[in-house]
Structure 1
Amino acid sequence: MTGETDLATLISQMRPMLDPEPYVFCTFASKSMTDLAEYDPIGLFAETEGLTAILPVERARELGLAEAEWFRRITLTVHSSLEAVGLTASISAALAAEGISANVVAAYFHDHVFVPEERADDALAALRKLAGDI
């Protein structure tokens, strides 16, 4: 598997980047991944209770779901290994210290942290501070 596994390197090189687009987490009990593909989800996950989709707000609005809480995505631009240990815990701890919730999605190349839209700038600052502390 490729990607960085050393925690100190991951944190010092994570270079968090804030996506300007807001997103909504939605759940669907009766739609399939194929049904949701037309709404350009950036994430889909099958759970027992239904299918979770992370949709751009404008696409969620088409489904009448844009009134749900809005989140912003912060991408950690370091190529992290799926086998890396401690990155999620370190990020979560830094954000928790600021009272910011974090929904972390690990993809093949990068980790993505979804934070409440109104706290996005604070979250970005906290993660940049964490990266500078290493």
Structure 2
Amino acid sequence: MTGETDLARLLATMRPVLNAGEYVFCTTTAPAALPPELVLGSFREPEGLTLIVAREVADEYGLPYGHLMAWLTLTVHSSLAAVGLTAAVAAALTQEGISCNVVAAYYHDHLFVSHAAADRALSALQALSAPTTLPVTAA
């Protein structure tokens, strides 16, 4: 199963959900003490290893972080080869003045937005996904 590639279908069926909790992006050069099952996502850069973890995990392991983030998931199985979904989502959030960090995984796209803007982001994505109604004209 390779996932959906048609942008119209992706938008119509993306069904965004807001995951509970607060999440943070951290960086470390020595992640060995952190059990892998506590890491939501990671990416190695020349400067260090970026980790996405729940805030309480970062606090427990003494990992410094900046912004508190909310995690939204687009529940549609999007293909990694799909074109335009990230751009459409970014445009909708940009109109609301919401910054977004996107993580594309095998099955779904995951969005990290300011925790304070979580409800507005969810509403903007739900509006983007809502079917459009064409005006009815008299014959």
Q: Could you say which residue in structure 1 is the equivalent of 2:49?
A: 51
1:117 is aligned to 2:93 = no
Consecutive unaligned residues in structure 1, runs of 5 or more? none
Q: CA deviation at 1:65?
A: 3.9
Secondary structure, in 3 states, of the residue corresponding to 1:45? strand
- The change in CA–CA distance for 1:109 and 1:67 in structure 2 (over 3 A counts) is closer
Note the 1:88-127 alignment, pairs <5 A: 88-127=86-125
CA contact (8 A) 2:23 2:53 kept: yes
Which runs of 5 or more residues in structure 2 are unaligned?
133-139
Deviation, 1:64, is: 2.9
Identity of aligned residues (%): 54
* Shift in CA distance, 58/66, structure 1 to aligned 2, threshold 3 Å: farther
Aligned alpha-carbon RMSD (Å): 1.7
1:74 pairs, out of 68, 72, 77, with 72
Tell me the number of residue pairs that the alignment of Structure 1 and Structure 2 aligns. 132
8 Å Cα contact 2:4-2:10 kept in structure 1: yes
Q: Distance in 2 between matches of 1:61 and 1:46?
A: 21
What letter corresponds to residue 10 of structure 1 in structure 2? L
Tell whether the 8 Å contact from 1:14 to 1:77 is kept in structure 2 after alignment. Answer: yes
Pick closer, same or farther for the CA change 1:72–1:22 going to 2, 3 Å. same
Residue 137 of structure 2 corresponds to which residue in structure 1?
Answer: none
Task: State the Cα distance separating 1:69 from its structure 2 match.
Answer: 1.2
User: What's the offset of the Cα at 1:82?
Assistant: 0.3
**1:48 to partner: Cα distance:** 1.2
Question: Structure 2 length normalisation: TM-score?
Answer: 0.88
The answer to whether the Cα contact below 8 Å between 2:34 and 2:61 also exists between their aligned partners in 1 is no
In 2, Cα distance between equivalents of 1:7 and 1:128? 15
Letter in 2 for 1:31: A
> Is residue 2:8 matched to residue 1:8?
yes
Higher deviation after alignment, 104-113 or 65-74: 65-74
Cα shift at 1:49: 1.0
Question: Which structure is larger by alpha-carbon Rg, 1 or 2?
Answer: 2
Secondary structure in 1 aligned to 2:82?
coil
When structure 1 is superposed on structure 2, of 80-89 and 1-10 the one drifting more is 1-10
**Secondary structure of residue in 2 paired with 1:72:** strand
